[in-house]
Each structure stands twice: as C-alpha cells, then as structure tokens.
C-alpha cells in the first residue's frame, strides 16, 4: 500500500479533483493535511509520495525523488502567499513577524526576501497557528499561505500593506518560484513503481482535465467550500503554473542556493533527482 500525502489547500486541487480515487484505492491510501505536517511525515517515512513544500525536498534531497513535471509554481504573483504588514516592507527591520505554522517554503522565502533582498538584520519571528487576527494583534507583520491567506486578504480592509511573495521573488530574481513539488521516497520507488506510475498519470491527467475545462467545474466546487465566486477561483488557477520544466527547476535551484547561503539548508542542493518513467532517476543541475 502506498501512503499518499494530499495538501489540503486549494492551490493543489487541480491535481486531485479528477483523480480516480476508487481505482487508486487498490494500492493507495490518501492522507490529507497541511504542508508542514506532510513534510515531517515524508522525512520520517510515514508517507511515501505526494505534494510537499519545495523547501522540504531540499532538506531531504538524498532520500527523495521528484515526480517529473508536476509542481505548484508562480511566475510573478502567486495570489495566496501574503505578508500583511503594518509598515512598509522597507521599514520592517527590528520588527516582530508572525509566521504560519503550516509552511516551510514560504517562511524561508520570506526570510530570504527580508534579509537578503531588503538587507534587514534584526527581525524576530514567531511561528503560530494561521489565525490572522491573533497573529496581527501582537506582531508588526504576519505571513499566511494557501486558503488562510486568501481569506485574510478578503477580511483585510486596506489598513495593511500586503505583499505577494511570488511577486517579490520575481522582482528580485526574474525567476519563477516553486512552492510545492511532488516527491517520493527512493525506497518507495524501488518497492512500488507501478503504483507510483498510476498515481503520476492520474495527477497529470487531472491537472490537464482541469485546465482544459478552464477550471470551471473545479471553481464551482471550491466556491461551495471556501466562498468567493467562480471567476475569482478560475483566475487564481489560471495564474498558477503546474509545470516543472527547466525554468522552474533553475528557479528552485537558485532558491536552494540562497537558502544554503543564509544557513537554512545544511548543504548546497546543486542538483535535483527527477524520475524519468522510462529510464529511472536522473540528475538535473
Ligand atoms: C501556492 C501555495 O503553495 C504552498 C506553499 C507551501 C509552503 O509555503 O511550504 C507548501 C505547499 C504549497 O502548496 C500556497 O499555499 O498558497
């Protein structure tokens, strides 16, 4: 049985919406959670495959392999990873920032942006539950991701400075930013290649079907759970990129390089191990 991590946020829904879960249940068990929990479960060997934070792949790269061409990426603004701040971003030095406990990529991305790109030196970070009002009550700024960030942006009435981290990353690097990757444990690939192939083809097919429908059916279902309207969600999905080609890979390697230089990664992740279904694992740098 393959244990499959399923991120609960809307941004990964295109991959899961049209999956044939009944057919897959013959060999796969789905475990839904927030990214940070799935990252930990993957590194402890409690799940075998699924979407995790791209940062978590960097931390555990030697034990993991990436599924080809699946990711959650933005080329510029992402629409659901926001820093809400009481002061302009240039004035955040010396201030207190609350971070959502659900993220690994965006929390490190924020630190890189503030420290490396804005040159801020003295920041205090507190990791918290993603409850906007609590976070902002005692801090100068807070970082939210996923549906929590979207909901907070709807609540916020224009009193705060709101920064989209995908846009900031693009502004300073001119590169895309990959937030989630689909990774699997090397051991699982040795033991369950056929089940992993079936999952891969279903994820790919689901994403293609969602895109071919211009995300309409998917958006209708998201409105029921999260509010908003169909056009909003269609626009959100259209803007996100679900490919993981050479440009996205270069952007991710650049993120790892900066993460290593800033001391967040224990080693320089200078290549990605990607699964080629016909050939096996190959290294990209
Ligand atoms: C685009 C997003 O990407 C998510 C951000 C993640 C992180 O910061 O660790 C992890 C998984 C992604 O699905 C989002 O949540 O808004």
Range of the domain at 117: 81-173
Q: How far is the CA of 196 from the centre of ligand 1 (A)?
A: 23
- Give the residue-averaged pLDDT of 259-271: 96
Q: Give the closest residue (by CA) to ligand 1 atom 3.
A: 179
Pocket test residue of 6, 10, 11 for ligand 1, highest count of atoms within 8 A of CB = 11
ipTM of the complex: 0.98
Confidence of residue 279 (pLDDT cuts 50, 70, 90): confident
Atom nearest to 7 CA in ligand 1:
13
- The pLDDT of residue 119 is 97
Which residue, 181, 160, 155, 191, is CA-closest to 2? 191
User: Reduced to 3 states, what is the DSSP secondary structure of residue 100?
Assistant: strand
Which residue, 119, 139, 121, 122, is CA-closest to 130? 139
What is the Cα Rg of the chain in Å?
18
Q: How far is the CA of 55 from the centre of ligand 1 (A)?
A: 10
108 and 191, same domain (yes or no): no
Q: Give the closest residue (by CA) to ligand 1 atom 12.
A: 180
Confidence of residue 222 (pLDDT cuts 50, 70, 90): very high
Output the ligand 1 site: residues, CB below 6 A. Answer: 7, 9, 11-12, 35, 53, 72, 78, 80-81, 103-106, 145-146, 149, 179-180
Q: Give the closest residue (by CA) to ligand 1 atom 4.
A: 179
Q: How far is the CA of 80 from the centre of ligand 1 (A)?
A: 8
199 and 58, same domain (yes or no): yes
- The pLDDT of residue 278 is 87
- The pLDDT of residue 142 is 98
Q: How far is the CA of 78 from the centre of ligand 1 (A)?
A: 10
162 and 191, same domain (yes or no): no
Euclidean distance between CA atoms 262 and 249, whole angstroms: 20
**Residue that is last in its domain, among 114, 142, 173:** 173
Domains in the chain: how many in total?
2
197 and 269, same domain (yes or no): yes
Atom nearest to 36 CA in ligand 1:
9
CATH number reported for the structural domain that contains residue 213 in this entry: 3.40.190.10
**Residue that is last in its domain, among 117, 142, 173:** 173
Euclidean distance between CA atoms 104 and 99, whole angstroms: 10
CB 242 within 8 A of CB 60: no
Phi-psi category of residue 210: left, alpha or beta, with phi > 0 → left and psi -120 to 50 → alpha: alpha
User: Reduced to 3 states, what is the DSSP secondary structure of residue 26?
Assistant: coil
List pLDDT tens digits, range 52-79: 999 999 999 999 999 999 999 999 999 9
β-strand pairing of 2-7 with 64-74: unpaired
Q: How far is the CA of 19 from the centre of ligand 1 (A)?
A: 21
List pLDDT tens digits, range 101-160: 999 999 999 999 999 999 999 999 999 999 999 999 999 999 999 999 999 999 988 899
Q: How far is the CA of 116 from the centre of ligand 1 (A)?
A: 21
CB 129 within 8 A of CB 42: no
List pLDDT tens digits, range 164-214: 999 999 999 999 999 999 999 999 999 999 999 999 999 999 999 999 999
Which residue, 115, 111, 113, is CA-closest to 127? 111
Average pLDDT across the chain, whole number: 97
């Amino acid at each position: 049985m393959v244990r499959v991590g399923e991120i609960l946020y809307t941004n990964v829904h295109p991959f899961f919406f049209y999956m044939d879960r009944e057919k897959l249940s013959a060999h796969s068990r789905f475990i839904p959670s927030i990214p940070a929990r799935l990252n930990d479960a993957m590194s402890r060997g409690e799940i075998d495959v699924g979407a995790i934070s791209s940062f978590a792949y960097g931390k555990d790269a030697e034990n993991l392999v990436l599924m080809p061409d699946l990711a959650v990426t933005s080329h510029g603004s992402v629409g659901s990873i926001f820093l809400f701040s009481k002061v302009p971003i240039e004035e955040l030095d010396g201030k207190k920032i609350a971070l959502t406990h659900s993220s690994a990529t965006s929390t490190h991305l924020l630190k890189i942006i503030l420290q490396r790109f804005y040159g801020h030196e003295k920041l205090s970070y507190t990791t918290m539950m993603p409850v906007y009002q609590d976070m902002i009550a005692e801090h100068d700024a807070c970082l939210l991701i996923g549906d929590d960030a979207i909901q907070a942006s709807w609540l916020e009435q224009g009193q705060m400075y709101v920064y989209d981290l995908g846009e900031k990353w693009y502004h300073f690097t001119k590169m895309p930013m990959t937030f989630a990757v689909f990774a699997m444990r090397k051991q699982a690939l040795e033991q369950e290649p056929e089940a992993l192939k079936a999952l891969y083809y279903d994820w790919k097919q689901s994403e293609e079907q969602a895109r071919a429908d211009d995300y309409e059916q998917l958006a209708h279902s998201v409105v029921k759970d999260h509010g908003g309207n169909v056009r909003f969600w269609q626009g959100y999905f259209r803007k996100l990129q679900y490919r993981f080609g050479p440009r996205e890979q270069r952007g991710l390697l650049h993120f790892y390089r900066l993460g290593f230089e800033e001391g967040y990664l224990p080693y320089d992740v200078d290549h990605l191990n990607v699964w080629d279904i016909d050939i096996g694992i190959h290294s990209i740098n």
